[in-house]
């Protein structure tokens, strides 16, 4: 085996975690600003493991106007990334998607959702383990709730194991710190998680990587 390949395989378990430790600017821990929601646009809130990966995919879809990584579903106001990672706040890592329903439907967003992660693993995606990585759909209306339930039932036919994805009413959304936003495209050259986890997913989905 090539020495470089062997070394890469040895390092992979250490790199494949959604846990950044780069040198960051002083304002990096400031919560990101929320994007505007244009008239006629709608919002979808989805959690499918580390939000870096989910965000990187949804940003590329035609009809998606904005994607913000953040936290929802918990009981602590304005949680930090560190608090969420302590698994004590109840929040999930999610993406808040502002989309134009005339260009991309909620059903289509959910179709991508099932392809983006493994919805059969409880509180886990790969080496990312904990309730913050749970598979969850936070609906914003009764129509979204009904659509999500139907989408989940249809997607179940494509998996050998039962889908454990939660479908629950949307609660307060807290944008993640600025350094988490568009994380993949800003850090893919130097972050191992981006290279070994996110990039292969984007390649499989035939998205920019």
Sheet strands (E) in 60-205 = 64-72, 92-99, 124-125, 128-129, 135-139, 166-169, 174-175
Tell me the per-residue pLDDT of 5-60, one tens digit each, with 9 for 90 and over.
333 433 444 445 676 555 555 566 788 889 999 999 999 999 999 999 999 999 99
The structure's pTM equals 0.89
Q: pLDDT band at residue 4, thresholds of 50, 70 and 90?
A: very low
Q: Which CATH architecture has domain 35-204?
A: 2-Layer Sandwich (3.30)
* pLDDT in the model for residue 33: 87
Average pLDDT, stretch 104-116? Answer: 98
DSSP for 22-83, please give it: ----GGGGSBPPPPP--TT-EEEEEEESSHHHHHHHHTTSTTEEEEEEEEESSSSSS--HHH
- Residue 45 phi/psi, 5-degree rounding, is -125, 120
- Residue 104 phi/psi, 5-degree rounding, is -145, 130
Among 12-21, 129-138, 148-157, name the one with the lowest average pLDDT.
12-21
Question: How far is the C-alpha of 158 from the C-alpha of 127, rounded, in Å?
Answer: 23
Residues with active-site annotation = 50
Report percent pLDDT > 90 for the chain.
Answer: 84
Alpha helices in 128-177 (DSSP H): 142-155
* pLDDT in the model for residue 28: 66
For the chain, the structural domain boundaries read: 35-204
* pLDDT in the model for residue 11: 43
Cβ atoms of 167 and 119 within 8 Å: the answer is no
């Amino acid at each position: 085996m090539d020495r470089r390949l062997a070394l890469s395989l040895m390092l992979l378990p250490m790199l494949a975690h959604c846990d950044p430790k780069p040198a960051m600017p002083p304002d990096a821990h400031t919560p990101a600003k929320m994007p505007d929601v244009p008239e006629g646009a709608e919002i979808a809130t989805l959690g499918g493991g580390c939000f870096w990966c989910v965000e990187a995919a949804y940003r590329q879809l035609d009809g998606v106007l904005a994607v913000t990584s953040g936290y929802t579903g918990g009981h602590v106001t304005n949680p930090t990334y560190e608090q969420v990672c302590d698994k004590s706040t109840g929040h999930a890592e999610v993406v808040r998607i502002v989309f134009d329903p005339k260009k991309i439907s909620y059903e289509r967003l959910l179709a991508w959702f099932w392809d983006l992660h493994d919805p059969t693993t409880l509180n886990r995606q790969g080496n990312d383990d904990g309730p913050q990585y749970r598979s969850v759909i936070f609906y914003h209306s009764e129509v979204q709730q009904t659509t999500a339930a139907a989408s989940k039932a249809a997607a179940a036919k494509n998996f050998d194991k039962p889908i454990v994805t939660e479908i629950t009413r949307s609660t307060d959304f807290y944008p993640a710190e600025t350094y988490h936003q568009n994380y993949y495209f800003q850090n893919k050259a130097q972050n191992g998680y981006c290279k070994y986890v996110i990039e292969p997913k984007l390649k499989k989905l035939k998205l920019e990587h």
